[in-house]
Amino acid sequence: MGKEKAGFLSPKAISNRIKAKGLQKLRWYCQMCQKQCRDENGFKCHTMSESHQRQLLLFAESPDKFLDYFSQEFLNGYLELLRRRFGDKRVHCNIVYNEYIQDRDHTHMNSTQWLTLTDFVKWLGREGYCKVDHTEKGWYIQYINRDPETIARQQELEKKKKMDMDDEERQAKYIQEQVERGMQGGGEQASHEATELQRQSEEEKIVLKMGLGGKKPTSSSAPSAESKPSSSKAAENPLQALAAGARKKDVQAVTSKKDGAKKRSALDEIMEEEEKKKAKFTRKDHWLTPGIIVKVITKKLGQKYYKKKAEVLAVKDLYTAVLMLVDSGDKLKVDQTHLETVIPAVGRPVQVVNGTYSGCRAVLEGLDEKNFCVTIRIDSGVSKGRVVEGVKYEDICKIAS
């Protein structure tokens, strides 16, 4: 009787499928036949086969054609992975190569014109595909993006950024001029201060002239008769006149303070507009940061964790948070889209996670539930003490105690 074939779930069959699925040694791969052998004996048997011999005859007829084809395929695959996976970042060449060979059907380097990865990296630098530099840890490469659409987009972004900077400088200059003008106005008001009455000699009499702001008295008897008593009363009560003058100066001082407050409020409005413009450029699509309290808003993790609060322990890849539940202490790994910020009570500290003051600590001053925004007072950084209104709920978050 012949030997019975192993079943589908037998250990031998499972072992064969695992070996066939995984990436085998590159030295036992035939690029011309695109066949992967498991061991040295299998590769030897393949090289002695008739099909392999026919492929070698085809290669012998035009070796440069096949060599250029395989080299171009390897170059395109390597650069595509570098561009898509790492972009314009500087990265070790071996990291890119290890990711590239994870594909079982990739083009092998031993079938190209480059003998080693170092030769290939040097060639990339000479041809201008990448920026290449050598360190103690090995060769590092940085992809040079020469796509016309990408270059045009970068130029537009730089041009827009430059225009925004020019607008900011122009606005800052305008604000500085307003501040200087306000300071000059304040200096003029400060120069008109009250001084003590001084007599040049002891015999000289102090005379107070009260200007009523009306018409001068005529030569007729009636107006002159009416003006004499008022002048005599003013002369008889000089203290009342002094008190009236002091009250008038107090009124002028209060008026000047109000004018100064109006000027400051106008400047504050200008600064608020500038902050709104800057917020458009400082806003990010990721807001997670360690040390804040968030709420789980997805039911995919189960009803046990739905609407539960947790502390962010760490952030991975900008959009994934490692959480520890406040109640149970369980640890989870949750995406940013399944979380939301937590608003504490008024007077409690918060963390600004997005917008102009991102990364600053603040104190919650008030809530505007109708417009879904809050008022905060910055408690750290160069803007410490500034009160900011109209901050959205999603831009601040409660701090873990």
Do the domain assignments include residue 307? yes
Range of weakest confidence among 109-113, 135-139, 206-210: 206-210
**What pLDDT band is residue 40 in, cutting at 50, 70 and 90?**
confident
pLDDT at 341: 93
pLDDT at 24: 62
Q: What is the count of structural domains for the chain? A: 3
Do the domain assignments include residue 223? no
Examine the pLDDT at 225 and tell me if it is beyond 50: no
Residue 365, number of CB atoms within 10 A of its CB = 14
pLDDT at 228: 44
Of 29, 61, 93, the residue at which a domain comes to its end is 61
Of 342, 360, 377, the residue at which a domain comes to its end is 342
| Residues spanned by the domain of 319 | 286-342
Examine the pLDDT at 6 and tell me if it is beyond 50: yes
Do the domain assignments include residue 180? no
pLDDT at 226: 43
Do the domain assignments include residue 394? yes
pLDDT at 399: 92
358 and 324 in a common domain: no
More confident position, 15 or 266: 15
Q: Which residues contact 152 (CB under 8 A, 6 or more apart)?
A: none
More confident position, 221 or 276: 276
Q: How far is CA 351 from CA 143, 263, 293, 379, 397, in A?
A: 37, 31, 10, 10, 5
**What pLDDT band is residue 238 in, cutting at 50, 70 and 90?**
low
pTM here is: 0.36
pLDDT at 293: 94
Mean of all residue pLDDT scores within the chain: 77
380 and 329 in a common domain: no
pLDDT at 234: 43
331 and 299 in a common domain: yes
Is 112:67 a contact under the CB 8 Å cutoff? yes
**What pLDDT band is residue 175 in, cutting at 50, 70 and 90?**
confident
Average pLDDT, integer, range 351-380: 89
Average pLDDT, integer, range 28-39: 75
Average pLDDT, integer, range 365-370: 90
The percent of residues in the chain predicted with pLDDT above 70, rounded, is: 71
pLDDT at 99: 87
Of 321, 342, 363, the residue at which a domain comes to its end is 342
Examine the pLDDT at 276 and tell me if it is beyond 80: no
Residue 318 sits in a domain whose CATH number is 2.30.30.140
Q: How far is CA 90 from CA 86, 130, 166, in A?
A: 8, 10, 31
DSSP conformational letter for 62: -
**What pLDDT band is residue 12 in, cutting at 50, 70 and 90?**
confident
354 and 381 in a common domain: yes
Do the domain assignments include residue 105? no
Query: Whole-angstrom Cα distance, residue 34 to residue 15?
Result: 22
Examine the pLDDT at 136 and tell me if it is beyond 60: yes
Average pLDDT, integer, range 146-164: 74
Do the domain assignments include residue 317? yes
Query: Whole-angstrom Cα distance, residue 376 to residue 362?
Result: 6
pLDDT at 64: 82
**Dihedral sign for Cα atoms in the order 342, 347, 353, 356:** positive
Do the domain assignments include residue 350? yes
Do the domain assignments include residue 190? no
355 and 323 in a common domain: no
328 and 291 in a common domain: yes
Residue 366 sits in a domain whose CATH number is 2.30.30.30
pLDDT at 1: 46
